[in-house]
Structure 1
Amino acid sequence: MFQKILVAIDTSEIGKQVFESAITLAKATNASLMLLHVLSSEEEGSPYMPIIFSGMGYAGGDKIIENYRQEWEAFAQQGLELLKSRQQAATQAGVQAEYTQRPGTPGKTICDFAQSWEADTIVIGRRGHSGMSELFLGSVSNYVLHHATCFVLVVQ
């Protein structure tokens, strides 16, 4: 039933639990994993880009943009290192795993990738935002639950 499991990985605290749940499911069903990290400014810990009015000749704007670019590259590298370490952990646990990192809006990118990779299950975390914070921040897990074309396992 489960052969291709897409695991949405991020740098949040729940990310480790999501990964461990996916390993348990993959071992129980002899499935392979695809670890996906979506590079997004929505992710906790992503670089912050201050508002710059470069068209108005803002002094120091080029330096701010260059710093942001460097921070973004470091953030992307951190994501790749996380994916590599999780792939190694999966392999050590006897689970076949590969990984990819994609830029984009998390919910849409997860759903689109799951469909193109032909995943039969998505494992994703839920941070527990509710009420006003979910209204303003949105919910990646909620988006995935409503738009995915396969099973979705939400880890709380």
Structure 2
Amino acid sequence: MIQKILTALDYDDTCQSVFEQALDLAQATQSELKLLNVLALERDSSMMFSPYTDMDWREYEDQYRRLQTDSLKLLEDFAEKAKAVKVSADFAQEVGMAGPVICKLGKVWKADLIVVGSHGRKGLSEMLLGSVSNYVVHHATCSVMVVHQPD
């Protein structure tokens, strides 16, 4: 029986459909939602600090704060939408490598299901950029639902 659904939300074009599918499932099963955003700096090229760029630390800190604030706002908005349809929802924002962070929170929170999105990367791009959904499928201690990017 599904009672706790951890939903990993990125700030990209799959985010809305991942949330909607998790919310529909939570409504159908009367489950609790935990919405998670991982500030995975390796996935956001604007946050990759390099000594070979002209970016100084203040600019980097400003961009990081904007990313953090925008992501929290997104989570808050989704949590409010869930509560509006009588689904219990809270949210968390973590920093780190997305796959391991998602799996760890899933285990600690004792999720029955983890919902993640897929960017649809295949072949070399998946190998070079990694696949969070692939990592979660292979390392989570509970079931995983992968929501593919809508056409």
For this structure pair, what is the TM-score category when the shorter chain's length is used for normalisation? over 0.9
Question: Given the alignment, which residue of 97, 122, 138 partners 2:114?
Answer: 122
2:66 equivalent to 1:77? no
Q: Which structure's CA Rg is the greater one? A: 1
SS of 2:119's partner is coil
Paired residues in the alignment total: 148
For the 8 Å contact 1:90–1:97, the answer to whether it is kept is yes
TM-score for the superposition, normalised by structure 2: 0.93
In structure 2, runs of 5+ residues without a counterpart are none
SS of 2:51's partner is coil
Question: Given the alignment, which residue of 108, 125, 132 partners 1:140?
Answer: 132
Identity of aligned residues (%): 41
- Give, in whole Å, the separation in 1 of the partners of 2:73 and 2:46: 15
Corresponding residue for 1:30?
30
For the 8 Å contact 1:4–1:118, the answer to whether it is kept is yes
In structure 1, runs of 5+ residues without a counterpart are 54-59
Instruction: Give CA deviations for 1:64-116 in whole Å, capped at 9, x if unaligned.
Output: 01110111011101110000000001011221100010001000000001000
Question: Given the alignment, which residue of 86, 98, 105 partners 2:90?
Answer: 98
Distance apart, 1:46 and its partner CA: 4.7
For the 8 Å contact 1:145–1:152, the answer to whether it is kept is yes
Alignment CA distance shift 1:140-1:27 (3 Å): same
- Give, in whole Å, the separation in 2 of the partners of 1:144 and 1:114: 10
2:42 equivalent to 1:50? no
